Every structure is written in structure tokens, then in C-alpha cells.
Structure 1
Amino acid sequence: MQRAALRLFAHNGYAGTSIRAIAREVGLSESVLYAHFSSKQAIFDAVLAEFGPQGVATMTGRVDPDLAATDPPRYLRELVLAFLDEWDSADARLLISLITRDGLLHDPALRDALQAMRASVAHLLDRWISDGLIARSLGSAHDLALWFTSPIGLARILHLHADATAQERNGARDEILQHTETFIQVVFNSRTNSADSANA
């Protein structure tokens, strides 16, 4: 149902898509659709939940969870790759086009999804800070999560949309992976650098 609604929203715009059109597209009566969703916004929220910003927890099934404890840099790399595979799907790129074209970037559901994603990353980083793998002097887990996720989200919005060429999509992927490597090099070498400074 969410995929059909997404395609209608993308084709007609959010304002131009009615509950009736969605019901017709999925072969349901409006009353049955209303039994599951209270409004068009609720349907959009469901579309966003399926194809929008996913939290780390959503992707953990695609990454070996033991890596979070045994090899955090590799865990982050594989986590980002899982996100990239998801974001490069036709439906996920269609959603980005819809959001930017229809002025939905400030939609509360999108804001909440982005904040939840950042909170998931902050939780991971807080664990690694507590374990002594990241120097506390670099900042709070929330600040580091903001630094890590913001450029990735921007690259997604700018380059992983429905009309993006293969070259643009590959460029976005390379940009995001390079940012991930820079982040990893800075935060996971911070303990070593701090110790070296103290011993100098």
C-alpha cells in the first residue's frame, strides 16, 4: 500500500493526491482505508516510515551486530553501505524527489524520523565513548552524531533523487563513503593522538 501511495504522491503531488485515489489504486474502499489510516497525513507518515530516514536499529539485521563491539570502524562502514543500498532504491529516491518538490522538508514526520536516526547514531557513539574507544574531548555523542549524519543526509537529498543519473548516484555514494572514512579516522584515532600528546 505504501509503495502505491508513494507513486501517487510523486506523480500528483501531496496536495493533488486524494484518499479516494489511493484507495482506488490499492483496490480498497475509502472506508476500509480509513479503518487503517486516519488521514492522508497518516498515509504519508507510513510512506515515510517505510522509505524515509531509517534508524540504525532498522539496519542492524543487515550488519553483523558483533562488529559494534569487536570492530566499530568496520561496523560503521557496513552500516553506511546498508543505508546506501536502501537509499539508492527507486522508491527511496522517488520519496526524496517528492519531499523536495512538494516542500515537505519541514514536515514534522520527516523531522522526527531524522531526529530518531541521529539519536540511534548518538547511542552507538555514546557506547564507544564510554568504552574508551573515542576521546570524550571530541564532544558529546550528540554533537558527533550531528557531524556524522548531516553531510550524509545532505548528499542523499542533493544526489539520490528520482532523476539522478548513474554518475550522480555513484558520486553521492563516493562522497558519503569518503565522509565516513574521514569521520572514522578522526574519532577512532583520537584516543591514540591524545595519548601521544600526553607522552610527548
Structure 2
Amino acid sequence: MNLALEASSRDRILDVALVLFARQGYAGTSMRQIAGEVGMRASSLYSHFAGKEAILSALIDAYGPARGASRLASPAYRALADDPAAFCRRYAADWLDQWCDVNERRFMGLLNAEPSRMADHRAHFVETLFDREVVAVADYFRRFIMAGRMRPGEPADYARLFMGGMTFVRMQHLMMPPEPSPREVIAEALAGTVEAFLKLVVVEA
């Protein structure tokens, strides 16, 4: 089996499914429609995903908190393990890139469009956020505190404060208004929030 082709087909299926789900709703999209848009037989589609539920779960893993949690385990972040300011700025910059991605916006619209139908998937999203990403950020903050680079405090509280401020920016500029703010406006608001947090908790070297 050509693993690169397999991965490419899977990614194409997810991209097409996300567009269709966002355009006509999860319930209004069939596996046959997805297969047709991808350009494969429905039977071939089932060799990649057991059904729509599996596709939706894969989209949550691709665009939800697991994506951020995986980034935090990367060498790029590990290299910032002794620099809290650089860590926080890098984290915010990566999230800005993700927030401004058109597929990310489609995903969040889908997640919020059918709350009753998607209750289990929303629960999976929340569980991943609090069980993986907040914990991962708190682990970095714990090390910064132990190294004397952050003021003494509860790492999980610091993580919630930091991530909560960024979430407010996202809601104000991307999720709540009829049209999203320009990227430069979001970047300015996000930078201000990050710098305010750093002034509160970081001990200068």
C-alpha cells in the first residue's frame, strides 16, 4: 500500500466532508455525496472511514484541541522550555494561524450549528481541551515556575488565565461578530493580551 497516497486520500475526504457539512449540515450530507465529491466509489470511502461519525471524530481531532496539544509536544516548543515569554508568544502566533484558516472556521461553525445533534462530539472537543491542552500548557508553566522564570502560583490557574484571555479575543473578533475582524486587528489584540499576561507572571532573567 502506498502510505503517502493513503494519507492524501484521507485528507481529501476530510476536506470535502468539512465543506459539505458546513454548507448543508451534518444530517444533510451522505457518505455517497462525500464519495462523489472526492471522486471515489462509496465502497472505497468506507475503507478509510466506517461512516460519518468516524469522519466527524477525525475532523475534531484535526481541528480541535488535540491539534494544539500535539504542537506542544513538538521539538519547536521543547526548545522554548526555559523561555516563558517566547513560549507564550509562539503559542499565540500558532493559534492565530489556526484561527484564521478557512477550514478552522468551517469546523467551528459546524460544531456550533447543531448543538443537540452533536452533543457527544462537542463533549469530546471539551474533554480533549481540558484533558490534554490545558494540562500540557500547565506542565510548561510548572517547569517555568520551578526554574524561577514565573512567579510562584498554581500552573493550572496560570494556564486557564492565559488561554482564557486568548479565547476572549477569539470570541470578540472571530466567533461573535457577523464578519471576522482583519487578521492584523486580531493579531494586535492577541499580542496585547499575551503581553499583559507576561507582565503579571514572568520573572525577567
Q: TM-score range by the shorter chain?
A: 0.7 to 0.9
When residues 150 and 15 of structure 1 are mapped into structure 2, their CA distance, relative to the original with a 3 A threshold, is farther
The answer for unaligned runs of 5 or more in structure 2 is 1-12
In terms of mean alpha carbon deviation, does 111-120 or 27-36 score higher?
A: 27-36
Q: Retained in 1: the 8 A contact 2:84–2:141?
A: no
Letter of the 1:151 counterpart: G
Q: Retained in 1: the 8 A contact 2:84–2:150?
A: no
Look up the match of 2:84: 72
For residues 167-195 of structure 1, what are the alpha-carbon distances to aligned partners after superposition, in whole Å with 9 as ceiling and x for unaligned?
3x443332222111111111114x99xxx
1:132 aligns with 2:164: no
Structure 1 distance, partners of 2:64, 2:40, is 25
In terms of mean alpha carbon deviation, does 90-99 or 148-157 score higher?
A: 148-157
Look up the match of 1:195: none
Q: Retained in 2: the 8 A contact 1:51–1:95?
A: yes
1:47 to 34, 59, 74: 59
Q: Match of 2:43, SS?
A: helix
Q: How many residues align?
A: 187
Look up the match of 1:33: 45
1:158: how far off?
4.6
Q: How does 1:1-200 map to 2 (within 5 A)?
A: 1-53=13-65, 54-58=67-71, 63=76, 65-69=78-82, 71-103=83-115, 104=118, 107-115=122-130, 116-136=132-152, 138=153, 140-160=154-174, 164-167=179-182, 169-189=183-203
Letter of the 2:21 counterpart: F
Structure 2 distance, partners of 1:164, 1:95, is 16
Structure 2 distance, partners of 1:15, 1:117, is 30
Letter of the 1:122 counterpart: A
Q: Match of 2:179, SS?
A: coil
Look up the match of 2:7: none
Letter of the 2:87 counterpart: Y
CA RMSD of aligned residues (A): 2.8
Letter of the 2:128 counterpart: A
Q: Retained in 1: the 8 A contact 2:16–2:34?
A: yes
Structure 1 distance, partners of 2:184, 2:79, is 29
1:12: how far off?
0.7
